[in-house]
Structure 1
Amino acid sequence: MTYILGLTGSIATGKSTVSQLFKEYGFPIVDADVGARAVVELNTPGLQAIADFFGPLILQADGQLNRKALGKIIFEDKAKRVKLNELLKPYIRAWIAKQKDLAIQSGADLVVMDIPLLYEANYQEMMDEVMVVGIPEELQLERLMKRDGITKEEALQRMDSQMPIEKKMALADTIIDNSGTPENTKKQVDDWLNQKNFLTSDKD
């Protein structure tokens, strides 16, 4: 039976790093960010839904989504950010469910569901376990400012658009502490995989 692991974190906590470690071991990854892009491609119902609500200014001349324009709107207005999530939620959820089913059909022992807003959108219900990649908020702020070259105010604004990392860690079944070295993070992932016997089956 396939084990479904929900993987989440918050902006700049290192979830993508951990997701990549699972990918390197060959486990299928269902990446919600890929789904979020797929459902707003040209001529999709998702793109039409947000264009109807936000207006033509969020579209480029060729009809594709102007991500920069939309990003500016939703980071400055919480109500509009909530509305965007509401509009796209059914399309993204359907995409994620389909990809999960395809990964299960492939015969994988473990499927990793990489979902940034896992708790915010209640995806935990479809998981056997939820793993949160966490770091202290002060370090999160520091890393985000450095990574994106933004001000403290801008970084805090982006962090506020998600559930606080401390709250996600409190809800987690398993926590990966990403505040140390990459080697330390990898060891925690390896330990989890060994504990669950995912590295001991005949995988070559």
Structure 2
Amino acid sequence: MSSRRGSSSLSAFFSEGIYTIGLTGGIGAGKSYVARMLQERHIPVYATDQRAKALYDEDEELRESMIRLCGKEIYSTEGHLDRAYLASLIFADRALLEEVNKLVHPAVRRDFCRWRSELVESGLRLCALESALLLGAGLDEYVDLVVAVVAEESVRLTRAMLRDGASEESVRARIQHQMAEEELIDRADYILYNDDAHPLAPQIDRLLAALPL
């Protein structure tokens, strides 16, 4: 683990009354694995990818906006998002993908704030927000500390190919559409190195021990 902005980045306490770690990283870096390790340490983690999928069906404002953007056929008669149909639309239309993201990101932010408020009411003082798009979707404004999980590209490729059963070409294409790891490292407050030379557990424990709680 290394600090990018010095110990001062650990001194602020979020005005909402709960310290929030922002956890991010590129494909295959191990972001979700770190999230599970935080949960094992009894730290609630908001997983934006999972919640975004649910919000298409649960958030009425998002649902209505999606229908206006894509047509009522974007939802099944049972009221569930037709993900295959949506994928076919945005695959051929990059501009439409950007419009969908403009609808989803605010819904995720609303949902996260509601979730975190419930944690505050229960008396918790620490939580985490996991998102691959933390620094690209404005979610970093909601956290006190940006923690990036990084690994060599060859390691990330191997992990993603094994995990998803994907080809090297497809994984490389996904990497190209994500923030460059150099920029990720530059913008993060702390770095967790997820490789054989740097065991994760001690890095996470040192980070948690340094938080102003």
Q: Fold-level match, TM-score > 0.5?
A: yes
Q: Out of 94, 102, 105, which is 2:110 matched to?
A: 94
Q: Contact between 1:27 and 1:108, CA under 8 Å: does it hold in 2?
A: no
Map residues 1-204 of structure 1 onto 2, 5 A cutoff.
Answer: 1-41=17-57, 44-56=60-72, 58-75=74-91, 77-180=93-196, 184-196=199-211
Post-superposition offset of 1:24: 0.9
Q: Which moved more, 1:132-141 or 1:169-178?
A: 132-141
Distance between the aligned counterparts of 2:125 and 2:60, measured in 1? 33
TM-score (norm 1): 0.83
Deviations 1:160-202 (A, max 9, x none): 3322233212211011111227x8112211121223376xxxx
Q: Which runs of 5+ in 1 are unaligned?
A: 199-204
Change (3 A) 1:75 1:105: farther
Query: Which residue type is aligned with residue 201 of structure 2?
Result: K
Change (3 A) 1:135 1:72: farther
Deviations 1:118-165 (A, max 9, x none): 100122222211111111223222322221112233223322332223
Q: Contact between 1:104 and 1:111, CA under 8 Å: does it hold in 2?
A: no
Greater relative CO, 1 or 2 (CA 8 Å, sep 6+): 2
Change (3 A) 1:192 1:76: farther
Distance between the aligned counterparts of 1:57 and 1:11, measured in 2? 31
Change (3 A) 1:135 1:78: farther
Post-superposition offset of 1:10: 1.9
Distance between the aligned counterparts of 2:192 and 2:184, measured in 1? 12
Query: Which residue type is aligned with residue 174 of structure 2?
Result: R
Q: Contact between 1:75 and 1:161, CA under 8 Å: does it hold in 2?
A: no
Post-superposition offset of 1:86: 0.6
The number of residues matched between the two structures is: 197
Post-superposition offset of 1:45: 2.5
Distance between the aligned counterparts of 1:133 and 1:93, measured in 2? 22
Q: Which runs of 5+ in 2 are unaligned?
A: 1-16
Deviations 1:91-110 (A, max 9, x none): 11111111122222222221
Distance between the aligned counterparts of 2:202 and 2:128, measured in 1? 18
TM-score (norm 2): 0.80
RMSD of Structure 2 on Structure 1 (CA): 2.4
Q: Contact between 2:59 and 2:107, CA under 8 Å: does it hold in 1?
A: no
Distance between the aligned counterparts of 1:140 and 1:76, measured in 2? 27
Post-superposition offset of 1:81: 2.2
Post-superposition offset of 1:62: 2.9
Distance between the aligned counterparts of 1:76 and 1:134, measured in 2? 31
